[in-house]
Amino acid sequence: MHKPDGGTSYTIHYGDLSERHFMTGRKPNSGSLLIPAIDLTKYKKPVFRFWLYMDTEQRDKSDLLSVLAGKKVVWSKNIQNVVMKQWQRIEIDLTKFVGKKIDILIDFDTVDGLNNKGAGVYLDNFTVSEYSDLDNKSKPHIFKPRPAIEDDDTVIKGEKELTLKF
């Protein structure tokens, strides 16, 4: 998997790296990634950015990917906003959360156990910066997320990827 920045930092992956899919038989599966306590008290127009690569069903009714900020859905995958099997930069306006500290939760749910033979979901380079900084002249705040995992789940460190096992 070529990373969007060509770098060597870790990438978050939802799926089974050894098998290159996210199947669990005929059962649905899901997972979440938590980026806790983002302080938006010093921002005027904050934007949350990350890189996304999806090899899942394109349909709007299955293989759902959502981003929640402060427990509210602020972005979700649909046919118009995600191109499969291609890295793309996602930008989410967080202006309505200015002055607060929020958690960001990225949630993936297959909804069903069908057609889960793709490579899964890859996420990389999470940042929050001022919207006017789109030209990257100022340094964005880089966040290191952690999986929102249950006690029986594990996180495996790969050579170049962090994998959420299900």
Instruction: With a cut of 90, say whether residue 117 has pLDDT above it.
Output: no
Q: What is the pLDDT of residue 15?
A: 83
Q: How many CB atoms lie within 10 A of CB 56?
A: 25
- 166 pLDDT band (50/70/90 cuts)? very low
d(CA 25, CA 6): 34
pLDDT at 35: 92
Tokens representing residue 134 in the block? 């789109």
- Token pair in block for residue 88: 């793309």
Determine the Cα angle at 94 with ends 144 and 36, to 5°. Answer: 30
29: alpha, beta or left, given left = phi > 0 and alpha = psi -120 to 50?
beta
pLDDT of residue 43: 93
On the question of pLDDT at 62 being above 80, the answer is yes
Q: CA-to-CA distance for 21 and 113, rounded, in angstroms?
A: 12
> What's the confidence (pLDDT) of residue 136?
52
Q: Which residue has the tokens 């499969």?
A: 84
Report the pLDDT averaged over residues 142-163.
Answer: 38
pLDDT of residue 80: 85
- The domains located in the chain, with CATH, are 11-164 (2.60.120)
Residue 165 has pLDDT above 60, yes or no: no
If one compares 138 and 14, the residue with the highest pLDDT of the two is 14
pLDDT tens, residue by residue, 18-57: 777 888 888 898 999 999 999 999 999 999 999 999 999 8
* For residues 84-110, average pLDDT: 94
Q: Are residues 107 and 149 in contact, defined by beta-carbon separation less than 8 angstroms?
A: no
